């Protein structure tokens, strides 16, 4: 697996965690480069939609604050093929990671408060002792802030040997961060094409890792998975497979959803749309 998804681990003081497979299974005895400078077009008023929410770190037990979007202040514009929800005026995904500024423990909001005792010990040994404290944006998080916070959460997920679904969900959201950043890149910058190309490559890498992780999770974990029922997860697998060019897997998962008795009409409608896209894409490939 390419290690470029771990590109910022070194900046966090966690370079050792960049080695090895993200989805490697723990042994059973366990149960016992500088970021590119991007001229970002900041949405006016973003700071006005945020507030500082208080947390207590389950690893170091210190209190801290994390920027959070005020409920009802953001408007949903659309839902993309891979279930990314696009809001205006603020990209909500930028604020999905909670990170302790003192010890370096970080996770997606839904996972932050419930690490096991063994996971806490692993985080203390592999994250806390090496973590280089970071300064995030005082008024809002830029995409550079968000990318580093997600890298920190990914390092923690690897250190605590989180479930495949948690790591896959992180990779999926990191792909969404790359996509959101690409939407606000300065097209007049002399480095625009290079930054855009690197951004697209990283997004594809994160999508591939998300697909790998969800495939593993589907084999070993129960539902709901990351808040999704089985048909929604299967649809997401089909969408991710389509995004990365694995049309065989995409078609297989589409069939699974369409034959499901528990899939909602909404998910089946989205799956039929995806099926049409797959058929059209494969036809075009056959012509060429």
pLDDT tens-place string over residues 55-71: 999 999 999 999 999 98
Distance, in Å, from the CA atom of 59 to the CA atom of 181, rounded to the nearest integer, reads 31
Task: State CA 147 to chain mean position distance.
Answer: 10
Q: What is the pTM of this model?
A: 0.85
Query: What are the residues facing 87 on neighbouring strands?
Result: 76
Give the ranges where 36-139 is alpha helix by DSSP (H).
109-112, 117-123
Q: Distance (Å, rounded) from C-alpha 5 to C-alpha 210?
A: 11
Q: Beta partners for 210?
A: none
Rg of the Cα trace of the chain? 19
Confidence of residue 34 (pLDDT cuts 50, 70, 90): very low
* Angstrom distance (rounded) from CA 103 to CA 130: 9
Tens-place pLDDT, residues 150-174:
999 999 999 999 999 999 999 999 9
């Amino acid at each position: 697996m390419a290690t470029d998804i771990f590109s910022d681990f070194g900046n966090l003081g966690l370079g050792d965690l960049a080695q090895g497979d993200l989805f490697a299974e723990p042994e059973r005895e366990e149960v016992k480069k500088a970021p590119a400078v991007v001229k970002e077009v900041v949405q006016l008023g973003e700071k006005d939609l945020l507030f500082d929410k208080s947390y207590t770190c389950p690893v170091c037990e210190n209190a801290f604050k994390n920027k959070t979007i005020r409920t009802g202040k953001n408007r949903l514009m659309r839902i993309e093929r891979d279930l990314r929800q696009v809001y205006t005026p603020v990209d909500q995904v930028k604020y999905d990671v909670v990170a302790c500024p003192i010890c370096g423990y970080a996770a997606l909001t839904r996972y932050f408060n419930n690490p096991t005792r063994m996971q806490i010990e692993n985080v203390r040994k592999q994250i806390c002792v090496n973590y280089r404290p970071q300064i995030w944006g005082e008024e809002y998080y830029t995409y550079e802030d968000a990318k580093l916070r997600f890298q920190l959460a990914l390092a923690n997920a690897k250190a605590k040997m989180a479930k495949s679904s948690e790591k896959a969900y992180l990779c999926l959201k990191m792909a969404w961060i790359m996509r959101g950043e690409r939407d606000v890149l300065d097209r007049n910058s002399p480095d625009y094409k290079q930054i855009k190309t690197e951004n697209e490559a990283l997004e594809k890498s994160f999508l591939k890792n998300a697909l790998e992780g969800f495939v593993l999770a589907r084999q070993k974990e129960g539902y709901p998975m990351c808040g999704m029922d089985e048909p929604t997860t299967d649809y997401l697998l089909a969408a991710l497979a389509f995004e990365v060019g694995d049309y065989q897997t995409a078609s297989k998962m589409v069939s699974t959803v369409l034959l499901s008795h528990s899939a909602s009409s909404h998910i089946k409608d989205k799956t039929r749309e995806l099926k049409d896209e797959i058929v059209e894409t494969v036809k075009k490939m056959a012509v060429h």
